[in-house]
Amino acid sequence: MPDRFEITHKDVFGRIGKLDTPHGPIETPALLPVVNPNTALVAPKEMRQFGAAALITNAYIIYRNPRLKEAALSEGIHELLGFDGPIMTDSGSFQLATYGKIEIGSAEIVAFQRDIGSDIGTPIDIPTPPDVPFERALRELNVTLERIWEAAAFCGAEMLLAAPIQGSTHLDLREQHARLLSTLNADVYPIGAVVPLMESYRYADLSSVIMACKAGLALNKPVHLFGAGHPMMFALAVALGCDLFDSAAYALYARAGRYMTASGTYQLNDLAYLPCSCPACAGGDPKLTERELAEHNLWVSFAEINTIKQAIIDGQLWELVERRCGYPALLQALRTIQKNCAPFEAIEPLKWSFMYTSTESAERPDVARFLIKLTNIELTGRVLITTNRTQTRDMEHEFDTTLLMKAPFGPYPQELAETYPIGQSEVPDPDYASIKSAVRNLIALIRSKNVDATFAYDSTWNHDDLEKLSSYATLLPL
Ligand SMILES: [Zn+2]
């Protein structure tokens, strides 16, 4: 099968790409609104105006309704929904998770998806919930695997195959499953059964699950984060390498009177003013109807996707993620990622700008990555590391090498002053978090070399961690 996914821009693990389908390309990151032909708050044919290039609908719901089933089989799903762009179909595994059973076999529903002209078909995977014993997760995962293999026979040029990755919260299982499925060369890889994690605000666990799946998957494959429909977490998920999202949330939130923004959710009743100027909000009257609220939720979700794409092009995705992670559970997720950011070091493309936007910036992958660059520098003898060269110029001749210091990166030779990240970073005066990172990198550098180090620092660099540094270098307050 030829690769149908082409990546054009990258930043962190995020990318802009193009997924070819029988009904045209989907530019990613993409949000696919979930449409239910029975109860559409916004009709499928209206979705394009909000920015939707593709939709997702549930084949099982159509299959169960004799009228819809017959119409879908005779006219095709595109005619039935009145939408001529790509349509992905889900299989009923959501119903399986909710009601415990469904009345159709996986092969049968995949054949049905093909027969109604779905662009991307999905087998009935077993959505194993979080925190179950390893044995159960493994057993259910094996059933999912069999069904994916079985579904592959129905897919090809006419219908792309989505191969869901399961494994509950067992990260080793997620990674193994992803690695196995990579050999199948499916077209889309959904990360399944993560809705319970999002519903209970376990974004740190969600991030770990995504990272485990990505570690096992071929990097040139599009990843769909199943059930993630809140714009607040799109940037984080894209930075971790997710390309496709589906949103039933725009409608579910509207029914519950909930007003989405890229930084969180309001109850519409609590709003005296509307913080948005989309067509639904433009009148300024906060008494939106349910339909207007659904429209607003769609506008704000698609606007966030565009913001993310532009951030990828500008090399500013981390900066955007930091701005979006003001909510405590998301901040926890960001810290989890930063603690485990090793894979980013190999994959994050070369950037050309670094903006220090909050104390979280001190722990960015770029900072850890700079240390690798540092340790490649040849260094011996007496080394002066100075935070203020004007004050130390007179003593430099006593040393073999002089290094400068910039928070949060640490020491650097003059030759690197114009290169990334030293030259292309906008950093305010050092703060506690940025000095901590810089001193940590300095200690790591000294430990990796056989040198006699002196750290000359002015008072802005006073910090608790200088005591640690004093075991490795002579401290010289200026
Ligand atoms: Zn609005």
Residue-wise pLDDT for 321-342, tens only, equals 999 998 889 999 988 888 887 6
User: Ligand 1 mean position to 287 CA, how many Å?
Assistant: 12
Residue 392 confidence (pLDDT):
94
pLDDT at 350 over 70: no
Task: Kindly report, residue by residue over 169-223, the tens digit of the pLDDT.
Answer: 999 999 999 999 999 989 999 999 999 999 999 999 999 999 999 999 998 999 9
pLDDT band at 344 (very low <50, low <70, confident <90, very high): low
Task: Kindly report, residue by residue over 431-459, the tens digit of the pLDDT.
Answer: 999 999 999 999 999 999 989 999 999 99
Those residues whose beta carbon sits under 5 angstroms from the ion ligand 1 are 276, 278, 281, 296
pTM (two decimals) = 0.89
Residue 90 designated active-site: yes
User: Ligand 1 mean position to 149 CA, how many Å?
Assistant: 43
Task: Kindly report, residue by residue over 235-280, the tens digit of the pLDDT.
Answer: 999 999 999 999 999 999 999 999 999 999 999 999 999 999 999 9
Residue 373 confidence (pLDDT):
85
pLDDT at 365 over 90: no
Residue 347 confidence (pLDDT):
60
- Mean of the pLDDT values across residues 92-120? 88
User: Ligand 1 mean position to 279 CA, how many Å?
Assistant: 7
d(CA 434, CA 374): 17
Cα Rg of the chain (Å, integer): 26
Q: Which of 430, 439, 437 is nearest to 469 (CA)?
A: 439
pLDDT band at 391 (very low <50, low <70, confident <90, very high): very high
CB 163 within 8 A of CB 184: yes
pLDDT band at 369 (very low <50, low <70, confident <90, very high): confident
User: Ligand 1 mean position to 281 CA, how many Å?
Assistant: 4
Q: Which of 3, 84, 90, 172 is catalytic?
A: 90
pLDDT at 135 over 60: yes
